[in-house]
Amino acid sequence: EKGGFDHFMLKEIADQPQAIADTLLGRLTDHGIALDEVRISDQDLRDVTKVFIVACGTAYHSGMVAKYAIEHWTRIPCEVELASEFRYRDPILDSSTLVIAISQSGETMDTLMALRHAKQQKARVLAICNTNGSTIPRESDAVLYTHGGPEIAVASTKAFLTQLVACYLLGLYLAQVRGIMYADEVGAVVRQLQQTPDLLRDLLDQMDPVRKLSRDLSSARQVLFIGRHVGYPVALEGALKLKELAYMHAEGFAAGELKHGPIALIDDDTPVICVVPSPVGNAMMRDKVVSNIQEVRARGARTIVIAEEGDEGVRAYADDLIFVPRVPTLLAPLMTTVPLQILACEIATARGYDVDQPRNLAKSVTVE
Ligand code: M6R
């Protein structure tokens, strides 16, 4: 069942190129994005004035990335919120609000309660879900399934990447039905999405240095992660994986926030994993993150830099450097997340823990 891998998690990491290809299948056509199963009319989608995304854990991190993509491509204001917080603050919802509930299992009680609240307030609810016929899609007005296949390991990996793909498809589709034509950019993103399975296969073949690094980091007292823009949710996701699998203190920060407090955590040899944006996609943002790397290095941090192939300029600031393939800025999480998944899995294994069944956790959390 584990396909020759020691753990389901390793198998599911390796399955990611196929999971993405399956999630894209039939949805990218010569005429644009086709999401026939989304049973909300084009007119209703044109009338949407506000988007909320609700989710928990890893699914929430995919929602954070989705916010950047949806706002950029559609210009509709979009907020992402932890499902467990959503209804308690009495959010402003009406029939022109689209609420997107993201859930691998489709059974997460916090997310279900958030969507029930949204429906009561007359919002339209669309589920992004990996489990056919589960409760969240059944109670939603529409569903966009991720075709990741069953995810057994408690730590979410392929579900995360396929959630990202579904969010990108939805964002592009909303832009399309609303007649927003960043024709060049959208066309480029679509072409690039089609290439991501192959790029990911190449990346997965180059992960030996990450495995070696994991052994070095397995005795660290804490590990910090920094990123900016879509690299910020990736930093949060890398830290979550390490917490849940390796039981280590790990925190993700927006790189620009470090100087407002967290930089005090850094002492000699604290590993800081730095997710660097593409210099081609956004040179200014990339330079800002490089300055943040210099700041932590000056305080003694060991910098582990995840950067785009060809960005030789970061080498001078990296104690360890991991390159990922070049993709448009908004798609970068499809690449930069992968080394962080492997890092957490390998560190947990080096520390002697069961990566598929971490302590205190269940695959699907059906209580509030
Ligand atoms: O099934 P869901 O996507 O709704 O689950 C949400 C979270 O419980 C889940 O992503 C959790 O954070 C994972 N264990 C993270 O690896």
What is the distance in A from the centroid of ligand 1 to the CA of 102? 10
What is the number of the ligand 1 atom nearest to the C-alpha of 159? 3
User: What does the alpha-carbon distance between residue 147 and residue 23 come to, in Å, rounded to a whole number?
Assistant: 5
Determine the 3-state secondary structure of 254 from DSSP: strand
pLDDT at 142: 95
Nearest CA to ligand 1 atom 7: 57
By most ligand atoms within 8 Å of CB, the mutation choice from 54, 105, 128, 136 for ligand 1 is 105
Percent of the chain predicted with pLDDT > 90? 86
Residue range 329-345: mean pLDDT, rounded: 97
Query: pLDDT at residue 358 above 90?
Result: no
Looking at residue 183, its pLDDT comes to 58
Indicate the average pLDDT of the chain.
94
Mutate to test the pocket of ligand 1, among 156, 241, 247, 337 (most ligand atoms within 8 A of CB): 156
Which ranges in the chain belong to alpha helices (H)? 8-14, 16-24, 42-46, 57-74, 83-86, 109-120, 135-139, 158-177, 183-204, 208-217, 231-246, 283-298, 333-350
209-240 pLDDT per residue, tens: 999 999 999 999 999 999 999 999 999 999 99
Position 1 confidence tier, pLDDT thresholds 50, 70, 90? confident
Tokens of residue 61, six digits: 């991190």
How many percent of the chain have pLDDT more than 70? 99
Dump pLDDT digits (tens) for 72-121. 999 999 999 999 999 999 999 999 999 999 999 999 999 999 999 999 99
Q: Rounded to whole angstroms, how far apart are CA atoms 304 and 210?
A: 10
Name the least confident of 16-20, 223-227, 357-361.
357-361
CA of 57 to the centre of ligand 1 (A): 5
Tell me, in angstroms, the distance from the centre of ligand 1 to residue 58's CA: 5
CA distance 158 to 275: 20
Taking the complete model, does pTM exceed 0.95, yes or no? Answer: yes
Using CA positions, which residue lies closest to atom 4 of ligand 1? 103
Mean per-residue pLDDT, 53-80: 97
pLDDT digits (tens, 9 = 90+) for 263-311: 999 999 899 999 999 999 999 999 999 999 999 999 999 999 999 999 9
Catalytic residues: 363
In three-state secondary structure terms, 253 is strand
Output the CA torsion 32→308→241→110 (10° steps): -30
Q: Which ipTM score applies to this complex?
A: 0.98
Average pLDDT over residues 200-205: 98
pLDDT higher than threshold 70 for residue 181: no
Q: Ligand 1: distance of its center to the CA of 71 in Å? A: 24
CA of 300 to the centre of ligand 1 (A): 34
CA distance 207 to 343: 9
Which ligand 1 atom sits closest to the C-alpha of 104? 3
Secondary structure (DSSP) of 257-284? GGGGTGGGG--TT-EEEEEPPPTTT-HH
Q: How far apart are CA 1 and CA 186, in angstroms?
A: 39
CA distance 335 to 95: 36
- Ligand 1: residues within 6 Å at CB? 56-59, 103-105, 108, 111, 154-156, 240, 244, 364-365
Probe residue for ligand 1, chosen from 58, 109, 151, 236 as the CB with the greatest number of ligand atoms within 8 Å: 58
Q: What is the DSSP letter of 218?
A: T
Q: Whose CA is nearest to atom 8 of ligand 1?
A: 57
Residue 82 parent element (H or E): strand 78-82
Distance CA 264, CA 359 (A): 30
pLDDT per residue over 117-155, tens digit each? 999 999 999 999 999 999 999 999 999 999 999 999 989
- Which pLDDT value is given to residue 190? 86
How many alpha carbons lie under 13 Å from residue 156 in its C-beta half-sphere? 26
pLDDT at 31 over 80: no
| Strand 50-55 relative to strand 97-103, pairing | parallel
